[in-house]
Each structure stands twice: as C-alpha cells, then as structure tokens.
A and B are shown apart, each in its own frame.
Chain A
Amino acid sequence: MNRSADMDMSGLEQLSGFARLVDASVLARAQRGDMQAFATLYTHFGQACYGLALRLTGNKAQAEDLVQEVFLKLIETIRSYRGDAPFGAWLKRMTANAAIDHLRKNKRFVDADPDAMFAGLDAPESGPAQKLDAAALLQRLPPRARAVVVLHQIEGYTHTEIAELFGQSESYSKSILSRGLQRLHAIVAPAEA
C-alpha cells in the first residue's frame, strides 16, 4: 500500500481502506439502483475488499471471486443498509462473512476440530524467505486457522466476533488462534535463535 497516497496536502493522513467515508448522496443513488454509484463505491472500497479477501484466503483467484460475490450481494442488499454503522465497516463484515462462508462450504476445509486441523501438518520449517514474507507465513496454516489469525491479529476482531462469524464458541476461536500462533512462532523462532 502506498502510504503517500493516503496523505493530503496538509500532511494529515486521510482515511483509507474500509475507514474511508462515503458521500451520503452516493449511497442514496446506490440504494436507488444507480450502477454508477456502485462503481464509485467499488473505486473507494474495491482494493480494501480485495486485500481482506486475499489475506483471508491467500489465493488471488478466490479473492477475486469473493470480491465479485460481495459486490453482487451489495447491489442486491444495499437497500437494507440503514447507516447504523459506517458503510466501510458494514462492507468489511460482509467480506469477512463471505470468506468464512466460503471456508464453511468448501468440504476440503471441514476442519472444525482444532486438534484435527493441525494434526496432519508437516513440522514447521524456517528460513529467511518466509521471515520476510507474511503472506507465505500465513500459507503455512490451515485455511480456518489462517482466517482466525488474520481476523484477530491483523483486522482486530475479538474472539466473540470471530466465534459468531464461524458459528462456534469463543474457546474454539481462542484455541485455533493459540495453535496457529504457536505454529507461526515455531517457524520464526529457529531463525531468531
């Protein structure tokens, strides 16, 4: 992300990503079905949406599919947006939900049991390349564990929110996060030692 692009002439950092503000008239036009307004919303939030989808899935094709799915759903459901929460937060939640729905539907990723989730993984290996590449580091986690780590450590979701998203208990979220971070530490630690 180019930080300089988020700075205005006064040097104040402008809001970026999902925190960007949306003109009420754009939302009103979108709620009337104006596709040009949706194009504006995509211009504002498309990158943030894609970035989150990519972090959660670790796969560009899946991230593109998710963004498409999210915006198609947005077009159909924006009338239900009442402005109770900032629009960006609403869209972010929609994106996270879509990613987790994808994980839940994909039978390859039926790994609700934390023990089973980490049981079949190879022993972690460390190396300079992985140390420098967070995306590659996250690829070493099972899909659900990856999503939990990203949501908690990067996106700031609480265990309560994660548990709600996955339809599981808070202890499930805590267990997955703990095991996921342990695995990541094991990859990073030997290089540090």
Chain B
Amino acid sequence: MNVTDSANLQTSALLRTITDIESEPPVDLWSRIEAAHGTRVRRRRLRRFVAGGVFSAALVGAVALGGLRLPSGMPSGGASIDWQARAQALELQLQALERDHGAVGRTVARYDAGPAATELADIDRRLQAAYEHGKYTNELVPLWKRRSELLDTLIAARKEGLTLTSI
C-alpha cells in the first residue's frame, strides 16, 4: 500500500468518525423554535388584521368619495334616505299649495292633474296592497321613492301654474 492509498483510507476513516462526535443541540433549542413559531403566527395574524383594516378603510373611503362625487343638491346614498318621510312631507307641501290656490280640502289622491295624479293614485293602491301583504322594506322603498318623485313633479307644476300632461 502506497502513501496515497494509505492517506485515502486514513482520510475516509477519519471523516467517518465525525458521526461519533457528540452533537447534542442546546437544551433550549425546541423552546426557541416554539417561541419563533408563536411570533410568526402572531405576526401573520397582525398582518391579516392590518390588511383587513386597510381594506375596510379603503372601502369606507371609496363609499365616502362616491358620495362626494354626487351632483350638489342630490342626497348622497339612496339607501339612507327615508323616502316615506320625504313623500309625506311633500304631500303636506302640496296640500299647502292647494290651500293657497283655493283648493283647500282636496287630497292628493283626488287631485286631477293628468298622468302624474293618475300614477300617484296607482302608487297609493300598490303601497296599500304591499302593506296588507306584509311585503319587505326593499319592495316598499321603490314605491315610496316613486311617490316622492311624483309629488315633486306635481309641486313643481302647481308652483308654475301649469297643467301637467306628461312626466
């Protein structure tokens, strides 16, 4: 056996002894791993929370911005308007106008001002039927909204002294 072969064997044997070397990890290594895992989990939760907050803030911002972009004079956010209250207020306003023009005692339903009054009477019947059949708010709101629009039209026409023929 030459020197090179001997060195090769010696090296190989020596390298194999490395597996015999005591290689105990520190006793606290697992607790450090657990702590690091806990930190990761908390950070992940915090990131999700922050991301959720940012999303919510962005959503609120977008809604607010959308409201601001509506033309001035228009109510922002159709869902927040109490169309029923608005229709009732407009009806009182129309009655006051009727009184001013010597038509005291005539109700809106009996007011004969062409198609608007006819549709208003139709809306009143549909509202009555909806309440009798226990319909949900989302079905009543469009009726109250339409009633408000018709009353707006009638008030405007009354103020201008015009006879309404179409809407």
Q: Is the CB of B7 within 8 A of A189?
A: yes
Known: A72-B40, A192-B3. A46 touches B25 (CB 8 A): yes
Verify if B33 is at the interface (C-beta below 8 Å from A). Answer: yes
In the complex, which residues 34-76 of chain A have their Cβ closer than 8 Å to any Cβ of chain B? 35, 39, 42, 46-47, 49-51, 54-55, 63-64, 67-68, 71-72, 75
Q: A47-B24, A54-B23, A189-B7 are in contact. Are A134 and B14 (CB under 8 A)?
A: yes
- Give the A interface residue count (CB, 8 A): 36
Nearest-neighbor residue (CB-CB) of B12 within chain A = A153
Select the stretch in A85-93, A110-118, A161-169, A180-188 that faces chain B: A180-188
Assess whether B14 is in contact with A188, with CB atoms less than 8 Å apart: yes
Residues of A within 8 A of B79 (CB): none
Kindly supply a per-residue 1/0 record for chain B positions 85-106, scoring 1 wherever the CB is within 8 Å of any chain A CB and 0 otherwise: 0000000000000000000000
Interfacial chain A residues near B21, Cβ < 8 Å: 1, 134-135
Q: How far is the CA of A134 from the CA of B14 in the complex (A)?
A: 6
- Tell me, rounded to whole Å, the shortest Cβ–Cβ distance linking A69 to chain B: 9
Which of A51, A134, A186 has the most chain B CB atoms inside 10 A of its CB?
A: A134
Interface residues on B, range: 20 to 34
Instruction: Tell me whether B134 is interfacial, beta carbon within 8 Å.
Output: no
A19 at the interface (CB under 8 A from B): no
A32: interface (CB < 8 Å): no
Q: Is A29 an interface residue (CB 8 A)?
A: no
B14: chain A residues within 8 A (beta carbon) = 131-132, 134, 137, 188
Judged by a CB distance under 8 angstroms, whether B6 is at the interface is yes
Q: What is the CA–CA distance of A192 and B8 in the complex, to the nearest angstrom?
A: 11
- CB of B19 within 8 Å of the partner chain: yes
Q: Can you sample 21 A-B contacts with CB below 8 Å?
A: A35-B37, A39-B30, A39-B34, A47-B24, A51-B23, A64-B32, A67-B25, A67-B29, A67-B33, A71-B33, A72-B36, A131-B14, A134-B14, A134-B21, A135-B21, A149-B15, A181-B11, A186-B7, A192-B3, A192-B10, A193-B3
Please report B residues at the A interface, Cβ cutoff 8 Å. Answer: 3-4, 6-8, 10-12, 14-26, 29-30, 32-34, 36-37, 40
